[in-house]
Structure 1
């Protein structure tokens, strides 16, 4: 992913909202909502296909050949002209199926009418897992993709992994291999069949900045849609840099929308207080991030505006400023971004509770499942997130969503995998509008903010608005 991007560069707008009432101590947490808007600014609508390299990897057992028999040829016939592509089949190790691995043949095919026709024909005899040695695991798939993709000098490099869980062996090497793949390519995972485990698929999608989803029907259309999305990328890689003041000793950044990811930070060479967080596949639109800083207040003045960090994206910069408040005193008003930061955190808790509840239900922990799904329902009502309520209704009766009361249905645990994938990887819209729609209660007399359950002001005793 380190190849040069195409001009012209998109227009970037960066907005920072700070949340929280900062109290000085040795490990104070400072949270800020970053909203990044990207406009095409004259860039072409679609990335030229010649700038894309895609591997379609089929990790499927012979018994599930029907899942890909028609979908794979259809996806190959729909490839755009001039895209670089390769197809990997299954065995004890990934097998290059197209183009064929011969001495006078390039590792990559470049799509045109003849290449698409030949690839679709060859895919009919795609090698799949058979009885015998156990497959090497997901680490082998991403290692094979890395070996092919890192040598292809194009702007966007991507792996489409189709799996039925055949490679879900002990994944001792997966974490190590994902470290090596960081920044080299992105990945979308499509799960077919019913025997796969959600957790490693979610790890692949999060670490490689893609999505994981279950496809019961329409696999060919799903692959084609994923490639069409890649062509809408205006900037393949765009790091978010955070430069902090000396009192800040921990920095983390998480993307909250449109796709939930925790980003890995890298120290900038020669700049000990600068962290770089690589991000990928920027399309026109908006993204929401939660920046978390941990700072020591020793030596900092109180009630004085301080710049704790500078956030930089391309040539656009925005400061993160706040002040330490005197112990025992409340500020006149909450920071402007307090509501949006609360919403980002609430949305993360909602997704986490939904996923935990579904996992507990799959593992027959019904009390835990009911508790977590109730939490998810309560937060979904507060945030107006209807899709979460729909997911809960599939496994439970919602007796009182606002109070978090649900009653579990009789559910086959083996059917919950697709729901767990959606809870962990489903894209969602930007959160800033929801943040502004539901401000928390505030005292009408002194303006002190409070939690969502507060009814009377802790400072002056007046009823909250």
Structure 2
């Protein structure tokens, strides 16, 4: 953290987060500088939350200084080492930065590959001098979230929200188990609500023709997932089991459903797309289109950026995703959302563009505004 104003806000946010930790929860505080320095408790240890330890932790936070560098890989590696002391516990971290990662190229990716699935990490960038792409890598690998806090004054509220949500988690490692028969293969598995996250590459094999996809920790919440399965061609009237999908936690099966494939010559049936599938396919396209528009704008390709943002405005409007439509309106003037007619704004605040980027993957549930 570089500016004294931001470090003051970070101190207050960290104190707010500590105050939200329930009694009995193990915790630690890491000072993020050019190395990973454990601020509280003693190095290599975890504290047990209680009124006394929370008060001690809050006092230790005053030692945070506005100096040093940014070493996200080192910070995350130390967090993983501390979490390893409590296998089976719900493990959650909050990472805050105001700058680009200063480690050698590839090191962050190397660390993320080694700790993926070990804990959940929500990442926040304060100000505008950090890279969305770096925090998105962390969120993707550690099944967390990424967002911008443009004004440091909003940090305390953001930390309170994240920590309160973390304290509500009751299941540490929920997974989606997908089994397919010989003539069936999984094309992709994606989370599509509350935000888009591709889980396909996170598959861990689990016996013959089965794989598990990590869903992270859960509390009292609901999420939507889109599973696509390919089957070999069949004849009209044929029916087969295409997949068996289970929600599991260790050896416990919480829910299970069968996916069947039916062949038909009725084009009205074969061309009909499930309303939920159509909706979330559009939401995934919306996220991809926004990110493509941002990249085109940064590259100076105004024509492509206008086309992409126009399509994004059209998708957001059609799906009732008003939050994304409002974010788009900070980057383009939307003349007709229904047709995707937009004009690029000549001047765009960096914070507005970064907010659009970080929140482009957030979706709305089907039927919410349709």
Q: TM-score normalised to the size of structure 1?
A: 0.72
Gaps of 5+ in 2: 248-252
Structure 2 residue aligned with 1:187, among 105, 108, 121? 121
**1:145 aligned residue:** 79
1:406-425 equivalence runs, <5 A = 406-412=342-348, 414-415=350-351, 416-424=353-361
Distance (whole Å) between structure 2 residues aligned to residue 365 and residue 140 of structure 1: 36
Structure 1 residue aligned with 2:51, among 113, 119, 135? 113
**2:146 aligned residue:** 212
**1:68 aligned residue:** 10
Per the alignment, do residues 152 and 142 of structure 1 end up closer, same or farther by CA in structure 2, a change over 3 Å counting?
same
The answer on whether the counterparts of 1:308 and 1:320 sit within 8 Å (CA) in structure 2 is: yes
Distance (whole Å) between structure 1 residues aligned to residue 162 and residue 31 of structure 2: 20
Describe the superposition over 1:237-276 as per-residue Cα deviations: whole angstroms up to 9, x where unpaired.
22111111212244421000013211111111xx221111
Specify the structure having the higher radius of gyration (Cα). 1
The answer on whether the counterparts of 2:178 and 2:246 sit within 8 Å (CA) in structure 1 is: yes
Distance (whole Å) between structure 2 residues aligned to residue 230 and residue 77 of structure 1: 13
**1:319 aligned residue:** 258
The answer on whether the counterparts of 2:330 and 2:348 sit within 8 Å (CA) in structure 1 is: no
**1:286 aligned residue:** 222
Gaps of 5+ in 1: 1-59, 438-465
Distance (whole Å) between structure 1 residues aligned to residue 32 and residue 260 of structure 2: 53
1:272 aligns with 2:208: yes
Pick which of 110-119 and 154-163 moved more: 110-119
Q: TM-score normalised to the size of structure 2?
A: 0.89
Distance (whole Å) between structure 2 residues aligned to residue 166 and residue 65 of structure 1: 16
Describe the superposition over 1:266-325 as per-residue Cα deviations: whole angstroms up to 9, x where unpaired.
111xx221111121222324221111223333xx44431111111112243211112234
**2:106 aligned residue:** 172
Distance (whole Å) between structure 1 residues aligned to residue 331 and residue 263 of structure 2: 46
Distance (whole Å) between structure 1 residues aligned to residue 8 and residue 358 of structure 2: 22
**What CA RMSD, in Å, does the superposition of the two structures yield over aligned residues?**
2.4
Number of equivalent positions: 359
The answer on whether the counterparts of 2:18 and 2:58 sit within 8 Å (CA) in structure 1 is: yes
SS in structure 2 at match of 1:206: helix
Distance (whole Å) between structure 2 residues aligned to residue 81 and residue 171 of structure 1: 40
The answer on whether the counterparts of 2:175 and 2:214 sit within 8 Å (CA) in structure 1 is: yes
Distance (whole Å) between structure 2 residues aligned to residue 286 and residue 91 of structure 1: 36
Structure 1 residue aligned with 2:177, among 232, 236, 241? 241
Per the alignment, do residues 403 and 168 of structure 1 end up closer, same or farther by CA in structure 2, a change over 3 Å counting?
farther
SS in structure 2 at match of 1:279: strand
Distance (whole Å) between structure 2 residues aligned to residue 73 and residue 312 of structure 1: 40
Distance (whole Å) between structure 2 residues aligned to residue 418 and residue 190 of structure 1: 11
Bigger proportion of residues as helix: 2
The answer on whether the counterparts of 2:245 and 2:257 sit within 8 Å (CA) in structure 1 is: yes
Distance (whole Å) between structure 2 residues aligned to residue 376 and residue 212 of structure 1: 20
Please state how far the C-alpha of 1:225 moved relative to its aligned partner. 1.4
Describe the superposition over 1:204-244 as per-residue Cα deviations: whole angstroms up to 9, x where unpaired.
11221111111222212211211111222232222111111
